[in-house]
Structure 1
Amino acid sequence: MSFSVEEFEKKYVGRLSDKKMDWDVLAFQEDVDPRYRRAQMRYIGRGATANADASVIEANNFTLSTMVLPSGSIGPLHLHSDVEEVFFILKGEMTVLLQVDGEDYEIELNERDCISVPPGYYRGIRNDGQEDALMLVMLGAPKPQLPTYPEGSELEKVRLERKKEREAIISQADK
């Protein structure tokens, strides 16, 4: 079999020109609280949301996306029990939210700052700046489990309702 740079490029290169900001992928969170509005642009892997996108490079070991958080927006507290999650701030300033043993903590991040949150910690992020913020998000598995939210929260109720929908998307995409 001969190598084709064209086929390699088609399979392994993600171009901004082929992408669009997906403001709908996390709209179920925004339905719970308008401050949860944010957009994702997937490059490698479907991520925990499992939405199919033909321009996304198939993941082998991790997922990679960018996310825009408008001023005042929040990525709500959530827990990945199976993977670490990395937030790398490309533009703006954000506050990482952590909840450990019922205690809330905040860590400020600026441009080009990075945090890696191990599995098992509730984490979220908030844009306290005056402008949209942009970050890179990486999850340490090609198909991470759907995150959970704090017990009894509205988002956890929605997650349980959406669990079957996600499983159907993954099943259909894997055929």
Structure 2
Amino acid sequence: MTDLSQADRLVASVGRHIEKIWDWDAFPASRGYPELARAQMRYIGSGGSPKTGDETTLVPKHFTTSLLYQDPDRYAAVHTHEIEEIFLIHSGRMVVSWDFDGEFVDIVLGPGDALVNPAERAHGFRNDGPEPIVAQFMVGHPKPMMPNYRSHPSKGDGAPEFRQPLPDPADPRVVEAHQYVVRGAQAPIHWHTLDNGSELATQPYVLPAEQGGVVPSIRFSLEFLHLPERAETLTYTFDHEVAFMVWEGQVAVEFTDGEQAASTLLGARDLVLVEAGQTFRLRNSGAGVAKLSAALGTATPAADRWTNAG
């Protein structure tokens, strides 16, 4: 870690939603095809965009993080990535289509839902409306994961059919696909009493099965943290990076090295990337429960990571 003050290190680790812009030209293959229009907001790395020169993004280690915006009646053509990709829906309703030997199975995702697209799994997605989609996209590698298109209008391929009936849940392909889905309204919530007297709830999404992960982690992990009003976590130091994005409430994040300390407030869709070896803690500074997504740069995080001060 570079020799910076804790205040400078913290400033350099935060991506603020209001200081970013939506990039409507993030995906060159969509140029000239309005039906493919979607925008990207980059936080960590560039994800599936070749725009590696964006100085407003944070440096990725084991995963990238961006937000994607898509209007109704727009779609992304069927493609693959060489690394797994996680979709986490903030708002709207996304229909993801998995390609099974030329036949497509639709997976519908709503707010708080997540889907793990394994490496080389051909998929596309669309917005059947009526609301825009905002989704958090995370790719399990620091370099750009450029899509390999299986179909595209440039090849003369047509658009998917919008507003289709839901598939038969007993179809074996549907059963297989839903093994990679996390329903936010159904994922278990575990409450922990910390040594400082605060309470903290965790909601496993993509974690090892023995830690209750709904979907087993591959290269990185994903969960939610819920902090009650005035609650404060312990002080942690991990041997992997962790990125927190605020979904609800106001969260104070503090960096410390035992001598210096610095803190800042994060609001909705603000992100902090805590590098490996950086000591930190979180505090709910607002009214009501604060909710954060936490992406961990390992497939095997310590089982007691939130209850054991590091």
Q: Is the shorter-chain TM-score for this pair beyond 0.5, marking a shared fold?
A: yes
Residues 45 and 143 in structure 1, CA contact (< 8 A), matched pair in contact too:
yes
Any idea what SS the aligned residue of 1:86 has? strand
Aligned mates of 2:28, 2:144 — CA distance in 1: 19
Aligned mates of 1:133, 1:151 — CA distance in 2: 22
* TM-score between both structures, scaled by the size of structure 1: 0.80
Q: Tell me: CA distance 1:151–1:15, structure 2 relative to 1, closer, same or farther (3 Å).
A: closer
Aligned mates of 1:28, 1:151 — CA distance in 2: 12
Cα deviation digits, residues 99-141 of structure 1 (max 9, x gap): 1222211111111111001001111111111121110000000
Q: Tell me: CA distance 1:152–1:36, structure 2 relative to 1, closer, same or farther (3 Å).
A: closer
Whichever residue aligns with residue 10 of structure 2, its letter is E
Whichever residue aligns with residue 8 of structure 2, its letter is E
Aligned mates of 1:29, 1:100 — CA distance in 2: 24
Alignment-derived partner of residue 13 in structure 1? 14
Q: Does 1:92 align with 2:92?
A: yes
Whichever residue aligns with residue 131 of structure 1, its letter is E
Matches within 5 A, 1:1-175: 4-31=5-32, 33-51=33-51, 52-81=53-82, 83-150=83-150, 154=154
- Compare relative contact order (CA 8 Å, sep 6+) and give the higher one, 1 or 2: 1
Cα offset, 1:91, TM superposition: 0.3
Any idea what SS the aligned residue of 2:87 has? strand
Whichever residue aligns with residue 137 of structure 2, its letter is V
Aligned mates of 2:118, 2:41 — CA distance in 1: 23
Residues 81 and 148 in structure 2, CA contact (< 8 A), matched pair in contact too:
yes
Aligned mates of 2:91, 2:152 — CA distance in 1: 33
Q: Tell me: CA distance 1:19–1:61, structure 2 relative to 1, closer, same or farther (3 Å).
A: same
Q: Tell me: CA distance 1:104–1:66, structure 2 relative to 1, closer, same or farther (3 Å).
A: same
Aligned mates of 1:100, 1:130 — CA distance in 2: 28
Cα offset, 1:151, TM superposition: 6.4
Aligned mates of 1:76, 1:6 — CA distance in 2: 43
Residues 50 and 143 in structure 1, CA contact (< 8 A), matched pair in contact too:
no
Aligned mates of 1:147, 1:102 — CA distance in 2: 18
Aligned mates of 1:2, 1:105 — CA distance in 2: 51
Identity of aligned residues (%): 33
Alignment-derived partner of residue 219 in structure 2? none
Any idea what SS the aligned residue of 1:28 has? helix
More strand by share: 2
Any idea what SS the aligned residue of 2:59 has? coil
More helix by share: 1
Q: How many residues align?
A: 154
The alignment yields a C-alpha RMSD, in angstroms, of 2.1
Any idea what SS the aligned residue of 2:23 has? coil
Cα deviation digits, residues 136-157 of structure 1 (max 9, x gap): 00000000432201168626xx
Any idea what SS the aligned residue of 1:53 has? coil
- Range that drifts further, 121-130 or 144-153: 144-153
Aligned mates of 1:111, 1:152 — CA distance in 2: 28
Alignment-derived partner of residue 254 in structure 2? none
Cα offset, 1:64, TM superposition: 0.3
Aligned mates of 2:124, 2:151 — CA distance in 1: 15
User: Which residues of structure 1 form unaligned runs of 5+?
Assistant: 156-175
Any idea what SS the aligned residue of 1:47 has? coil
Cα offset, 1:9, TM superposition: 2.1
Aligned mates of 2:116, 2:95 — CA distance in 1: 14
Residues 23 and 37 in structure 1, CA contact (< 8 A), matched pair in contact too:
yes
Cα offset, 1:97, TM superposition: 1.1
Residues 27 and 37 in structure 1, CA contact (< 8 A), matched pair in contact too:
no
Any idea what SS the aligned residue of 2:15 has? coil
Cα deviation digits, residues 81-108 of structure 1 (max 9, x gap): 2x10111110011100111222211111
Aligned mates of 2:125, 2:89 — CA distance in 1: 11
